[in-house]
Amino acid sequence: MKSILDYETVDYDSKKKALVIIDQTKLPNDIELLSLRGAEDIWNAIYELKVRGAPAIGVAAAIGLAVLAEQIEAQDRAAFMEALENHKAYLVSSRPTAVNLSWALNRMMQVCYGHAGSTVEELKEMLLQEALQLKREDIEVCRKIGEYGLTLLKPGDGILTHCNAGQLATCKYGTATAPVYLGHERGYNFRLYVDETRPLLQGARLTAFELYSAGIDVTLLCDNMSASLMQKGLVQAVLVGCDRVAANGDTANKIGTSVVAAVAKQYHVPFYVCAPTSTIDFNTPSGDGIVIEQRDREEVSHMWYRRPMTADGVKIYNPAFDVTDHTLISGFITEKGIVSTPAELERI
């Protein structure tokens, strides 16, 4: 019987010429694959978190742009590029905080600008191949993060996660879970503690689901329970993913991450950010420059309830992310190595 780990988080259907994703809003109860060809459908899938996680968003957007490029009827290169730029700008607007989205789409556009003499049909094929290359690279990046991360852990360690930076957020392995999956294969017998991650419950619905499916010892907890675990000495490391890292190391990740980091520092638990270098934005000096996405109030008041859980008219604050100050971060685990600050990457 197939488990969630046997499905591709993001894929390309060559017969339908479509982007294929797992609809993560239906998990863990239903595994439903979506085939997407329209620009609005792809935009909505990203915005509505049907596909989510910075690396997966980047790959999905790249494949999505290739799918949309295939449908552009213009044979004139200038007209083709104008239509492609419009598609790119539209997709970028879906999730402003995750830098992988713009990074992947910019890389796709460079394929076209780097081949000035190519025909429209040749460009369409190049775009598809670049998108598929991005997927292959994501898998390799995550594997390397797993290998480096594993050097920081010991068999039997208790590891706390927040949100979902697992296989469902990438094309394979995940970022924060990559050391966990590799360690599991090698008999490390980790104990995983998973924050439920309000208000969208990515930890409860996604991380706990995929780790349990892999046969890993996993315990789910409400977000406000992590201090209790650390106080009891049950957590030896915190591993989280990221959506954007500023040049000074300030890191945007799912809302609540900065709370976990502050608690970890209080109890002397190392707090590591698993960061593909594609998430590091050297053009943003600090976290003050990271745009934080504000989401619909109904995600808090209605989404998981048969009836509203708060009185009508109550104001609701619902940022998708917060920024963890670099002083709270023990290190960044990248595919190039482990560093204390992004600037150290230049010396690797």
* Segments of the chain assigned to CATH 3.40.50.10470: 144-347
Task: Please give the order of strands across the beta sheet that includes 321-324.
Answer: 280-281, 244-246, 251-254, 321-324
Residue 96: C-alpha distances to residues 77, 90, 123 (Å): 29, 11, 27
Fold that domain 144-347 belongs to in CATH: Rossmann fold (3.40.50)
Q: Quick one: pLDDT at residue 346? A: 78
Of 2, 6, 7, the closest CA to residue 23 belongs to: 7
- The superfamily (CATH) of domain 4-142 is translation initiation factor eif-2b, domain 1 (1.20.120.420)
Q: What is the C-alpha to C-alpha distance for residues 191 and 234, in angstroms, rounded to an integer?
A: 9
Tens of pLDDT along the chain (348 residues)?
789 999 999 999 999 999 999 999 999 999 999 999 999 999 999 999 999 999 999 999 999 999 999 999 999 999 999 999 999 999 999 998 878 999 999 999 999 999 988 999 999 999 999 999 999 999 999 999 999 999 999 999 999 999 999 999 999 999 999 999 999 999 999 999 999 999 999 999 999 999 999 999 999 999 999 999 999 999 999 999 999 999 999 999 999 999 999 999 999 999 999 999 999 999 999 999 999 999 999 999 999 899 999 999 999 999 999 999 999 999 999 999 999 999 998 777
DSSP 167: G
Catalytic residue positions, numbered? 243
Contacts of 167 (CB under 8 A, 6+ apart): 4, 5, 9, 173, 174, 177, 181, 210
Q: Quick one: pLDDT at residue 231? A: 98
Pairing of strands 271-274, 237-240: parallel
Three-class SS state of 100 = helix
Q: Quick one: pLDDT at residue 99? A: 85
For residue 158, the cross-strand partners are 191
Q: What is the C-alpha to C-alpha distance for residues 36 and 13, in angstroms, rounded to an integer?
A: 10
Strands (E), 170-320: 191-195, 217-221, 237-240, 244-246, 251-254, 271-274, 280-281
* Segments of the chain assigned to CATH 1.20.120.420: 4-142
Identify whether the C-beta of residue 257 lies closer than 8 Å to the C-beta of residue 239.
no
